Amino acid sequence: VVHDGPVTVDRARAERLDAADPLAAFRDQVVIADPDLIYLDGNSLGRLPVRTAERLARAAREEWGRGLVRSWSDWVDLPRQVGDLLGIRLLQARPGEVVIADSTSVNLYKLAAAAVDARPDRRVIVTDDDNFPTDRYVLAGLAHERGLDLRPVHTDADDGVDLPALTRALDDDVALLSLSHVSYRSGAVADLAAVTRLAHRAGALTLWDLSHSAGSVPVSLTDAEVDLAVGCTYKYLCAGPGAPAYLYVRRELQEQLRQPIWGWFGQRDQFAMGPEYDPAPGIDRFCVGTPSVLAIYAVEEGVRLVADAGVDALYRKGQALTGFLVELAEAWLAPLGFRVASPRDDARRGAHLTLHHPAAWQICQAAADRGVIADYRTPDRLRLGPAPLYTRFVDGYDALDRLRELVAAGAHEGYPAEPARVT
């Protein structure tokens, strides 16, 4: 039992929380190659589901190896089928509103371009200055290409988007508001429905990036009347490095919108090989080229697993886990110069927790050498992503215990202060 700080936290409490965890059995559904490794980076690259490894091997052998090109009759509708699975079970979308395609960055470009083209008399794209880099760059590139203005609303790096500031930014010149639902840096959750309402009141379309929320936080696209959304599948959805992303277009908008990359997978009667581009009806028009079949199988397995656990249960566990980490951080790490750089209110946090420390990068490297995988984010932040599908409370306890020990001993001081190519 530890008595340093305002709360008393012992490992037995973490063990009791694990014993009462309704999701505990899901840990057996993912590959744990090294039981001593504490993996707190499920928000960056989710673990490999056991069934995915089997499915990929089987599909490669049978469908590709034996079936060859004949398998395309089964493969060709996968992007929509798996899109529906993801949309209906995890995002509260309706059938035909979600498709798996391309990367998040490319989908963001396609949908943002479609949105500004649908509001030709408006000249402004609004985002926030703490949005994920690819989102800011893609929107800036689009604004540059079309001669539009990008209006970045200032956002507190710890606390998330500020509704009054957004309200001031949304005037009748705004074509599109594009934000992340959960901040990649702090885990702060934006109010999907309230922000979407604000944008609609100003006559703008909304494009949400769900990369850090799908599979960890409830997302109600239909209830919130969201217009457009994108997100990646390799974080909480465990589809593997570089797995294709998804895009969502509200049914009522699909026929009004055109995306700028006119590929043959977005074409009506694709195999008629007609002379001119004529966009397919429905969500298919937002596709471009040949889908990544094997990787979509990995998306399907990951989504199934997450959906079987249930988003509400995952959300509750994510809040409990990060809440537990906050408690430990206050008791053990605050005296060592750490500060919680995420919203403290459980209801305003996604499934990751960020800690500020001036030596965050060095601590991150030292932690990795002591079997704790977290990640470093600017400025001076250590990000802990205890993915609720497979992370235990004892993992959180042991990770913060190791962090405390290494920082108290100054073990991080010998590590390079200059960030590496990948952090």
286 flagged as catalytic: no
Q: Smallest distance from the beta carbon of 105 to ligand PLP, in angstroms? A: 3
Sign of CA dihedral 203, 205, 209, 210: positive
- Give the residue with the Cβ less far from ligand PLP, 299 or 333: 299
Among positions 60-119, residues that touch ligand PLP (CB under 6 A) are 103-105
Q: Is 128 in the site for ligand PLP (CB under 6 A)?
A: no
Closer residue to ligand PLP (CB): 226 or 407: 226
Residue 132 catalytic?
yes
Q: Which is nearer to ligand PLP, 3 or 421 (CB)?
A: 421
Cis peptide before 120 (omega within 30 of 0): no
When asked if residue 140 is in the footprint of ligand PLP (CB under 6 A), the reply is no
When the beta carbons of 151 and 235 are compared against ligand PLP, the nearer one is: 235
Candidate residues 39, 75, 109, 132; the one interacting with ligand PLP per rule CB under 6 A? 132
How many residues contact ligand PLP, by CB under 6 A? 13
Cβ distance to ligand PLP smaller for residue 141 or 337: 141
**Residue 143 parent element (H or E):** helix 133-146
Q: Which residues lie across from 207 on neighbouring strands?
A: 178, 228
Q: Residue 43: which of 203, 144, 186, 194 has the closest Cα? A: 186
* Structural element, H or E, at residue 124: strand 124-128
Taking the complex as a whole, the smallest distance from the CB of residue 371 to ligand PLP amounts, in Å, to: 25
Would you count residue 29 as binding ligand PLP (CB under 6 A)? Answer: no
**Active-site residue, from 80, 110, 383, 392:** 383
Q: Which of 21, 84, 209, 284 binds ligand PLP (CB under 6 A)?
A: 209
Rule CB under 6 A: say whether 135 interacts with ligand PLP: yes
Cβ–Cβ < 8 Å for 393, 29: no
Shortest Å distance, C-beta 420 to ligand PLP = 18
Q: Is 235 a catalytic residue?
A: yes
User: Residue type for 269, please?
Assistant: D
Q: Measure the CA–CA gap between 83 and 100, rounded to whole angstroms.
A: 5
Site string for ligand PLP, 238-267 (x = CB under 6 A): -------x----------------------
Distances (CA, A) of 199 to 25, 202, 207, 263: 42, 5, 10, 31
Q: Which of 132, 184, 265, 376 is catalytic?
A: 132
Distance CA 130, CA 136 (A): 8
Q: Which stretch binds ligand PLP (CB under 6 A): 64-72, 128-136, 154-162, 401-409?
A: 128-136
Is residue 317 among the annotated active site residues?
A: no
Which of 122, 151, 235, 317 is labelled catalytic?
235
Q: Is 381 in the site for ligand PLP (CB under 6 A)?
A: no
Residue 120 burial (10 A CB sphere; 0-12, 13-18, 19+): exposed
d(CA 357, CA 339): 7
Nearer to ligand PLP, 134 or 267 (CB): 134
Which string of x and - marks every residue 176-205 that binds ligand PLP (by CB under 6 A)? ----x---x---------------------
The span from the CA of 358 to the CA of 381, in Å, is 8
- CB of 105 or CB of 362, closer to ligand PLP: 105
Q: Which has the closest alpha carbon to 335: 53, 7, 81, 100?
A: 7
In which element (H, E) is residue 205 found? strand 205-209
Q: Which one is catalytic: 84, 158, 209, 227?
A: 209
d(C-alpha 183, C-alpha 155), whole Å: 10
Known catalytic residue at 383: yes
Residue 233 is given by DSSP the state S
Instruction: Count Cα atoms within 13 angstroms, Cβ side, for 363.
Output: 30
Alpha helices in 9-149 (DSSP H): 11-19, 50-58, 72-75, 78-90, 104-117, 133-146
User: How far does CA 96 lie from the centroid of its chain?
Assistant: 21
Marked catalytic residue, from 26, 39, 184, 234: 234
158 forms part of the interface with ligand PLP (CB under 6 A): no
Q: Which residues does residue 127 pair with via DSSP β-bridges, in sequence order?
A: 152
Nearer to ligand PLP, 212 or 381 (CB): 212
The set of catalytic residues is 132, 209, 234-235, 383
Contacts with ligand PLP by CB under 6 A lie at: 103-105, 132, 134-135, 180, 184, 209, 211-212, 232, 245
